[in-house]
Structure 1
Amino acid sequence: MRVLVTNDDGIDSPGLAALTRVALEAGHDVVVAAPSREFSGASASLLGAQEDGRLVVEERTPPGLDGAVRSYAVDAAPGLIAFVAAYGGFGPKPHVVLSGINRGPNTGHAVLHSGTVGACLTASTHDIPGLAVSLVGHDPTHFDSAAAYAAQALGWLVESGGHDRVLNLNVPDLPLAQIQGLRPAHLARVGAVQAQVAHEDAGYLTVTYADVEHDEDPDSDATLVTRGWATISQLRAPVADAGVTLPELGPLG
Structure 2
Amino acid sequence: MRVLITNDDGIDSAGLTVLAHVAADAGHDVVVAAPNAEYSGFSAGLRGEHEDGVLTVSAGRPPGLRASIESMAVHASPALIAYAAGAGDLGPHPDILLSGINLGPNVGPAIMHSATVGAAISAAAQDIPAMATSITARSPQHWETAAAVLERAFAWLSSHQQDHRVLNVNVPDIPLAELKGLRTAHPARFTAVSDERQLQVRRLLFEPFASDKVTFEPDSDAGLLAAGWATVSLVAAHVHDGESATMPTLNFDEGAQS
Which region of structure 1 is more displaced relative to structure 2, 49-58 or 5-14? 49-58
1:95 aligns with 2:104: no
TM-score (norm 2): 0.87
Q: Give the SS at the match of 1:23.
A: helix
Distance in 2 (alpha carbons) for counterparts of 1:233 and 1:24? 24
CA distance in 1, matches of 2:162, 2:225: 26
Match of 2:36 in 1: 36
1:192-211 matches, cutoff 5 A: 194-195=201-202, 209-210=206-207
* Aligned equivalent of 2:141: 141
The alignment partner of 1:160 has SS state of: coil
Q: Does the 8 Å CA contact 1:101/1:143 hold for their aligned counterparts?
A: no
- Aligned equivalent of 1:249, options 235, 248, 251: 251
Query: 133-142 or 208-217: which moved more?
Result: 208-217
CA distance in 2, matches of 1:101, 1:211: 16
Would you say the 8 A contact 1:194–1:210 is kept in 2?
no
8 A contact 1:136–1:172 mirrored in 2: yes
Give the 5 Å matches for 1:235-246.
235-243=235-243, 244-246=245-247
Structure 1 residue 193: Cα displacement: 5.8
- Give me the whole-angstrom Cα distance separating, in 2, the residues matched to 1:210 and 1:20: 28
1:156 lines up with 2:156 in the alignment: yes
Per-residue deviation, residues 110-130 of structure 1 (Å, max 9, x unmatched): 100101111111100111111
Q: Is the 8 A contact 1:61 1:67 kept in 2?
A: no
| CA positional deviation for 1:211 | 6.1
Q: Distance in 2 between matches of 1:36 and 1:211?
A: 24
Superposition deviation, residue 74 in structure 1: 0.6
**C-alpha contact 2:60 2:71 (8 A) present in aligned 1:** yes
| Residues 193 and 209 in structure 1, CA contact (< 8 A), matched pair in contact too | no
44-53 vs 153-162, which moves further: 44-53
Counterpart contact for 1:5–1:16, Cα < 8 Å: yes
Which structure shows the higher strand fraction? 1
Contact 2:186 2:233 in 1 (8 A): yes
1:185 is aligned to 2:185: yes
- Contiguous gaps of at least 5 residues in structure 1: 197-207
Q: Provide the TM-score with structure 1 as the length reference.
A: 0.89
Aligned residues of 2:168 and 2:235 also touching (Cα < 8 A):
yes
Give yes or no for contact 1:193–1:211 (8 Å, CA) kept in 2.
no
Unmatched segments (≥5 aa) in structure 2: 191-196
Of 12-21 and 67-76, deviating more is: 67-76
Q: 1:105 aligns to what SS in structure 2?
A: coil
Aligned to 2:176: 176
Query: Residue 214 of structure 2 contacts residue 226 of structure 2 at CA under 8 Å; is this kept in 1?
Result: no
- 2:232 alignment partner, SS class: strand
Provide, for residues 24-58 of structure 1, a one-character-per-residue CA deviation record: whole Å limited to 9, x for no partner: 00000111100011110111111112244432111
Structure number having the greater helix percentage: 2
Identify the residue that residue 63 of structure 2 maps to in structure 1.
63
Percent sequence identity is 50
